[in-house]
Amino acid sequence: MTTLSKRFYIFIVLFTFISINFGFSRPLDSPPQAELYAQLELSKAGLKQEVFEKAMAGWNRLHATMGASDLLSIADFSQSSNAKRLYIIDVKNSRLLYQTYVAHGRNSGEEYATFFSNKAESFQSSPGFYLTGEPYMGKHGLSLQLKGLEAGINDRAEQRAIVLHGADYVSESFIHRFGRLGRSLGCPAVPVELCRPIIDQIKSGSCFFIYVPGADYAAASKLTHFIKPDYYSSIGSN
């Protein structure tokens, strides 16, 4: 092997390692992010490209390192709760499977979510990346386990019993009556009629991302390349 060949080989090995471990890789069978964003007309659907790119950054890494499925769920908490701000995307097949309502925690805010916490009994939402687990029947009926993947941000989700479930207060009729969507105790609650099909679709190892506005979440998240020891200490809402 020539010196030039050796250098090229070393470059390929290092590039592959960095791509897998820092989220720069894109599976070969999925379309480029900009192309997918345009193809699904996500701008018209209310999802900003910046939010989509952050979601895709984490999905890429989880897909490569943890075997996350081809599905990506984005709960965009920068939007009003009166908007259909939950997007469930089949990345591989370039399909928007669902766009619907999703509730935030009651102590995160009224119409808009502005406060977040990783603490038990805070009744606030926790941002970041989750991996879906298995369905089960709980006090809210059919529910889906969520495992928080980011230390100091959402890793107490299981301890807090943060799960995806259906709720009557996640409906247009509730919005018309009260001027905003109902709120949960911290769980991303969805419309009752869509609970089962959504859970059946995203269960068992798909990526679920809760995007939040305000503080620089990207700088706090290991899954978006930058690391801070504690997200909440930086925004004072713990």
Instruction: Identify the domain containing residue 11 by its residue range.
Output: 3-235
Per-residue pLDDT, 25: 45
DSSP sequence for 90-142: ETTTTEEEEEE----BGGG-SSS---B--STT---B--EEEEEEEEEEETTEE
Which CATH number belongs to the domain containing residue 111 in this structure? 2.40.440.10
Which is nearest to 72 in space by CA: 107, 31, 116?
31
Q: Is the pLDDT of residue 232 over 90?
A: no
Per-residue pLDDT, 214: 64
Which is nearest to 40 in space by CA: 102, 93, 100?
93
Confidence of residue 89 (pLDDT cuts 50, 70, 90): very high
pTM exceeds 0.75, yes or no = yes
With contact defined as beta carbons under 8 Å apart, do 32 and 26 qualify?
Answer: yes
Q: Is the pLDDT of residue 233 over 90?
A: no
Tens digits of per-residue pLDDT, 155-200?
A: 999 999 999 999 999 999 999 999 999 999 999 999 999 999 999 9
Strands of the chain (E only): list them.
71-76, 86-90, 95-100, 128-138, 141-148, 163-167, 189-191, 207-211
Task: Count the domains in the chain.
Answer: 1
Tens digits of per-residue pLDDT, 119-161?
A: 999 999 999 999 999 999 999 999 999 999 999 999 999 999 9
Which is nearest to 126 in space by CA: 201, 194, 65, 217?
217
Q: Is the pLDDT of residue 101 over 50?
A: yes
Residue 114, token pair as written in the block:
């502005």
Residue 35, token pair as written in the block:
């192309």
> Which residue, chain included where needed, has tokens 């471990």?
21
Residue 111, token pair as written in the block:
């119409």
Which position has the higher pLDDT, 227 or 222?
222
Count Cβ neighbours within 10 Å for each residue of 41-67 and write b for 16 or more, e otherwise.
ebeeebbeeebbebbbbbbbbbbbeee
**pLDDT averaged over every residue in the chain:** 86
Q: What is the DSSP secondary structure assignment for residue 32, as one 8-state letter?
A: -
Which position has the higher pLDDT, 163 or 235?
163
Query: Average pLDDT of 47-67?
Result: 94
Give the least confident one: 103-117, 155-169, 213-227.
Answer: 213-227
> Which residue, chain included where needed, has tokens 């996500």?
42
With contact defined as beta carbons under 8 Å apart, do 35 and 52 qualify?
Answer: no
Q: Is the pLDDT of residue 18 over 60?
A: no
d(CA 117, CA 124): 6
